[in-house]
Amino acid sequence: MKARGLLKTIRKMDPSERYCYNPKLRWNPQVEDYFINAYGYDHFSRISKALTRPSCYSCIRVNTLKTTSDAIIEKLCTILQPSGSESAADGIKNSISKCEIPGLDSVIIVKGSGPHTIDYGYASDADRPPKEVIVSRKCGEAVLRGAQVFVPGVLACSAHVEKGDLVAISVAIEQPGVDCGWGLGITRGTVVQGSHTDPHYFERHGLYIGQGETMMSRAGIFRVSKGVAVDMNNRIFNLPSFHDVLEGEIFLQNLPSVVTAHALDPQKGERILDMCAAPGGKTTAIAILMKDEGQLIAVDRSHNKVLDIQNLAAEMGLKCITTYKLDSLKAVCQMNESGRDSDITKQSSEPLSFNGVIFSPISSEKLKAETNSKGNISNEKANERAYINKADIGKNMQRMRNGPGRNQCVGGRVNSKGFCPNNFDRVLLDAPCSALGLRPRLFVGKETVESLRNHGKYQRRLFDHAVQLVRPGGVIVYSTCTINPGENEALVRYALDTYKFLSLAPQLPRVGGPGLVGHFEFPDGYTEEWLRPGEEEFVQRFDPSSSLDTIGFFIAKFVVGSKE
């Protein structure tokens, strides 16, 4: 009887209630209580809803060392202009403008639109659902930002789908499993019947993100490993794609990230450290603000990410950036037995020998040749000689026999010596975080109170290193892309209470809102302290539910006093 009643309810369901976009984030109950305490129930509900939607505009940072904002606007109007009426062309021109925030005249705003209502062609009288493609959550989030549906993101598809068919795109979200974990439970290649027996049928209610034309048949989608599976021509949110557009002249970047580089206020000729630099957006923004004059050290612990930073710097024509593969928790060098430091920027030029074979440090020309042979581009700061320790001698011998490997490219060397204390004028710590401010976000279930607190512990360790590396009179800027006060205001509280020579500094431009004042007491008795009255106006908190329509973000700026 219950099953019959369920089928009857399904048949009576208004298709517009199912075939729409109305997601709801499923938070861990303890995490939800924590955020409700911080923001209040109504405010957190608005934040949670905003996180499921992309910003309705794209923020483009112009490389002012190569071009101007006016020139870029003119080029974008030509590139994005649709074929058709003059009114459509005028609409494009009206959607592109300079950012009106004082000090951010190098930023261009391109307006999008949405959410739109889409007719998926559900024939209720014939009980015939539309042909459908189910995509993974990460693929769905990318589509909401303007991407196409690529083959690796497709999980399931209706039967008898041929090239050129019009299909509805729905998203499968991770669900709780029997072992308290999260998973999809969908075998790739599953046939979608359009009935309640389909995988995640009820969970996909309100998770339809648009309509598109298949670029290959169902068999082709699950036979090949790459390519566009569906060309999205009817989207819930219309945001232009800037993939491969004006490379080297523009960089697509969230507004708060642009503000972060400005808050650091880098000056020509300074020595600056970007501690967690990948993928290089803030690094290159800082270099441009420095007029590409000075020394900007960018480190990351991932070899591939370091190469990405180098490629981006080369693409934008920036020469003041030096990259290192280095864990920022090992960024402060240790004194040797003679009491001398071992800064990794001081590199040996003495030849090394092993079993009678003499090796010289790798020259910049050889590094460039090897890097380019792998399709990687090094920036000009690779002209410095690369340090080779004794442990690398054997690897060099093998390389001479077998040819260069990936780890011999620029940025591939592990160096744990770090930098001297008090070595930088300014330090940016854009810390790894829970990323609970990124948009659009369709899944947050894995985050627990414990995992959020662990993020905070890791960030405090990174901040300890930042404090040691910056000189007295210098500046530290700390930023995250999360709404979690435990990774934001709590870090500021830790910094001010632990290092009495630190003080909060005003930031320009002032775009975000004030920080959170107060504290939270966890069930285990631990009290997390946030800001105190009077401190909230010194930080910038970007609220995804505010009229700015940005990602969730946080920026704090510290001035370093005497460390004596």
195 found inside a domain:
yes
Distances (CA, A) of 215 to 150, 161, 220, 421: 10, 10, 9, 56
Expressed as residue numbers, the domain containing 385 is 276-330+345-408
* 179 marked among binding-site residues: no
34 found inside a domain:
no
Q: Check whether residue 92 and residue 128 sit in a common domain.
A: no
Q: Check whether residue 295 and residue 323 sit in a common domain.
A: yes
* 343 marked among binding-site residues: no
Outline where DSSP puts E strands in 151-277.
Answer: 154-158, 166-171, 175-176, 182-183, 190-192, 208-214, 228-235, 250-252, 271-274
The DSSP code for 93 is: H
HEC assignment per residue over 367-415: HHHHHHHCCCCCCHHHHCCCCCCHHHHHHHHHHHHHCCCHHHCCCCCEC
CB under 8 Å to 171, separation ≥6 — which residues? 134, 135, 136, 137, 139, 140, 204, 207, 208, 209, 442
Q: Check whether residue 312 and residue 385 sit in a common domain.
A: yes
296 found inside a domain:
yes
What is the model's pLDDT at position 90? 65
Q: Check whether residue 218 and residue 302 sit in a common domain.
A: no
CA atoms within 13 A on the CB side of 525: 0
Q: Check whether residue 399 and residue 361 sit in a common domain.
A: yes
* 369 marked among binding-site residues: no
Is 553 in a helix, a strand, or coil?
strand
Residue 299 contacts residue 317 (beta carbons within 8 Å):
no
pTM: 0.84
Q: Name the residue among 38, 34, 28 with its Cα closest to residue 522.
A: 34
Per-residue pLDDT tens over the stretch 78-136: 888 766 555 555 678 889 999 999 999 999 999 999 999 999 987 654 467 899 999 99
Per-residue pLDDT tens over the stretch 191-210: 998 888 887 788 888 999 99
Q: Name the residue among 401, 523, 424 with its Cα closest to residue 477.
A: 424
Widest distance between CA atoms in the chain: 87
Q: Any catalytic annotation for residue 157? A: no
Q: Check whether residue 76 and residue 214 sit in a common domain.
A: no
Backbone angles phi, psi at 235, to 5 degrees: -110, 155
List the alpha helices (DSSP H) in 486-525: 489-498
Range 517-527 burial, b when 16+ CB lie within 10 A, else e: eebbeeeeeee
Per-residue pLDDT tens over the stretch 202-231: 888 899 999 999 999 999 999 999 999 999
394 found inside a domain:
yes
What is the model's pLDDT at position 52? 98
Residue type, 419: F
Q: Which of 364, 386, 408 is the last residue of a domain?
A: 408
* 105 marked among binding-site residues: no
Marked catalytic residue, from 157, 409, 420, 481: 481
Residue 109 contacts residue 57 (beta carbons within 8 Å):
yes
Per-residue pLDDT tens over the stretch 409-420: 444 444 558 899
Mean pLDDT of the chain: 85
Backbone angles phi, psi at 273, to 5 degrees: -120, 130
